[in-house]
């Protein structure tokens, strides 16, 4: 009350917030919403507290291991701020539960889910219902708290989860942006680890799924980062509820004009070759990922190293993004970077001919595009 003043704090007290996903990010977000005085909370998660999650959960103890996360939070919350109306649902968000979970006209919905299918479904449902939603992107495998930002989904970079969510929302629901997200500018420092079963041998993760479609994941997590994500989410929501204007720091990329140029070149090339750019399924940020992360600023025909520097832009007028497989749309998993002459040669031949005449080149490109497909499916 001292920070916001009486009238603004009353708005916080009279608000209703839904938090979906109660792991490292969601538990901290919910906890600070409670401590900030939000009057009504709905906590939703189908999962249980595990021993491995104690390094990042806001309130769980050893005694809570095996307890549903939603019930664990509700129990602890009753001793922190008993005046808050806390409802807990041990439930998975999906199309069948959307109406029940999102009913009641919540003032804000916090998406702290780490499964892509469920996350995309929730964000689409909120947009379709006109509900305010704030989404957490990838907090795993990061270590630098100074690089965490709040921005529109269209501006998030260096984040496989953002890229996958953006791609799915655009493709499946026609949603281009307009969703605020918390994300890190830091490139993930580690990837999913191999899953080993009780016998210590690498097993098929799907054999251990509690819910079909949810991968059993081992993601290296520094517990402080998801906690900071959750704290930022709570701060963003509370200031919005109190109608206190906070100007977030803009996401700046000094090279963005170069990527815009390549994106525009792709559109013009698609229009000249196919008569339309409707099958261009990438935006400028996707182009940034394709150029920097997949091709490292060099032609796909070069035996490139992974070093990329400003020197690459001296050759910007020689490079163009084209389809690898001309029968498929211009997507993240089907675009290669070539010089203009190489692009002409590529588009005058077939993949079968390339595979037969240049097996090493063919294998290298398919390997890179397979990595892009894995990144799009990443749940980091």
Per-residue pLDDT tens digits for 88-98 = 999 999 989 99
In the sheet that holds 108-111, the strands lie side by side as: 85-89, 40-44, 16-20, 108-111, 133-136, 180-184, 148-152
Residues 237 and 322 in one domain: no
Residue closest to 140 by CA, chosen among 222, 63, 257, 19: 222
> Is residue 84 a contact partner of residue 73, using CB atoms and an 8 Å limit?
no
CB atoms within 10 A of CB 214: 18
Residue 1 covered by a domain = no
Residue 250 covered by a domain = no
Stated pTM of the model? 0.73
Residue 247 covered by a domain = no
Q: In whole angstroms, give the CA distance from residue 378 to residue 289.
A: 14
Residues 224 and 325 in one domain: no
Residue 129 covered by a domain = yes
Residues 282 and 355 in one domain: yes
Residue closest to 232 by CA, chosen among 24, 5, 15: 24
Residue 79 covered by a domain = yes
Q: What are the residue ranges of helices labelled H in 65-134?
A: 69-80, 98-102, 116-129
Structural domain total, the chain = 2
pLDDT, position 1:
57
pLDDT band with cut points at 50, 70 and 90 for residue 192: low
DSSP 108: E
Percent of the chain residues past pLDDT 70, beyond the cut: 87
- Domain boundary at 187, 218, 241, which? 241
Highest mean pLDDT among 208-217, 258-267, 294-303: 258-267
Q: In whole angstroms, give the CA distance from residue 297 to residue 286.
A: 14
Per-residue pLDDT tens digits for 62-117 = 999 999 999 999 999 999 999 999 999 999 999 899 999 999 999 999 999 989 99
Domain span holding position 184: 6-241
Q: What are the residue ranges of helices labelled H in the chain?
A: 6-13, 24-35, 69-80, 98-102, 116-129, 160-168, 224-241, 256-274, 284-289, 340-346, 351-357, 359-376
Highest mean pLDDT among 37-46, 200-209, 258-267: 37-46
Residue 315 covered by a domain = yes
pLDDT of residue 353 exceeding 60: yes
Residue closest to 333 by CA, chosen among 341, 344, 325: 325
pLDDT, position 154:
86
Q: In whole angstroms, give the CA distance from residue 275 to residue 277.
A: 7
Q: In whole angstroms, give the CA distance from residue 172 to residue 181.
A: 19
pLDDT band with cut points at 50, 70 and 90 for residue 159: confident
């Amino acid at each position: 009350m001292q920070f916001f003043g009486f009238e603004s704090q009353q708005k916080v007290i009279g608000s209703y917030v839904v938090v979906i996903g109660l792991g490292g990010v969601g538990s901290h977000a919910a906890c600070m919403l409670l401590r900030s005085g939000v009057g009504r909370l709905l906590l939703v998660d189908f999962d249980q507290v595990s021993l491995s999650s104690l390094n990042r959960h806001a309130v769980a103890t050893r005694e809570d291991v095996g307890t549903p996360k939603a019930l664990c939070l509700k129990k602890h919350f009753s001793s922190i701020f008993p005046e808050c109306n806390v409802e807990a649902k041990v439930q998975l968000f999906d199309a069948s539960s959307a109406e029940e979970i999102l009913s009641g006209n919540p003032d804000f919905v916090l998406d702290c889910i780490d499964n892509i299918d469920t996350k995309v479904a929730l964000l689409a449902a909120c947009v379709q219902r006109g509900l305010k939603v704030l989404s957490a992107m990838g907090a795993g495998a990061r270590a630098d708290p100074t690089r965490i930002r709040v921005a529109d989904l269209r501006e998030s970079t260096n984040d496989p989860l953002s890229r996958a969510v953006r791609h799915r929302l655009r493709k499946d629901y026609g949603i281009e942006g307009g969703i605020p997200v918390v994300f890190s500018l830091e490139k993930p420092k580690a990837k999913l680890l191999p899953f080993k079963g009780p016998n210590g041998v690498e097993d098929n993760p799907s054999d251990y799924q509690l819910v079909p479609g949810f991968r059993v994941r081992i993601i290296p997590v520094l517990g402080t980062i998801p906690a900071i994500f959750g704290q930022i989410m709570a701060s963003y929501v509370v200031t919005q509820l109190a109608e206190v204007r906070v100007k977030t720091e803009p996401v700046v990329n000094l090279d963005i004009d170069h990527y815009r140029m390549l994106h525009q070149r792709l559109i013009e090339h698609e229009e000249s070759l196919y008569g339309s750019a409707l099958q261009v399924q990438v935006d400028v940020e996707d182009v940034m990922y394709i150029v920097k992360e997949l091709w490292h600023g060099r032609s796909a025909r070069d035996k490139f190293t992974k070093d990329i520097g400003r020197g690459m832009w001296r050759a910007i007028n020689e490079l163009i993004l084209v389809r690898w497989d001309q029968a498929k749309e211009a997507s993240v998993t089907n675009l290669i970077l070539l010089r203009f002459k190489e692009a002409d040669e590529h588009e005058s031949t077939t993949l079968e001919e390339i595979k037969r005449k240049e097996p090493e080149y063919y294998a290298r490109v398919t390997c890179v595009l397979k990595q892009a497909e894995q990144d799009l499916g990443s749940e980091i």
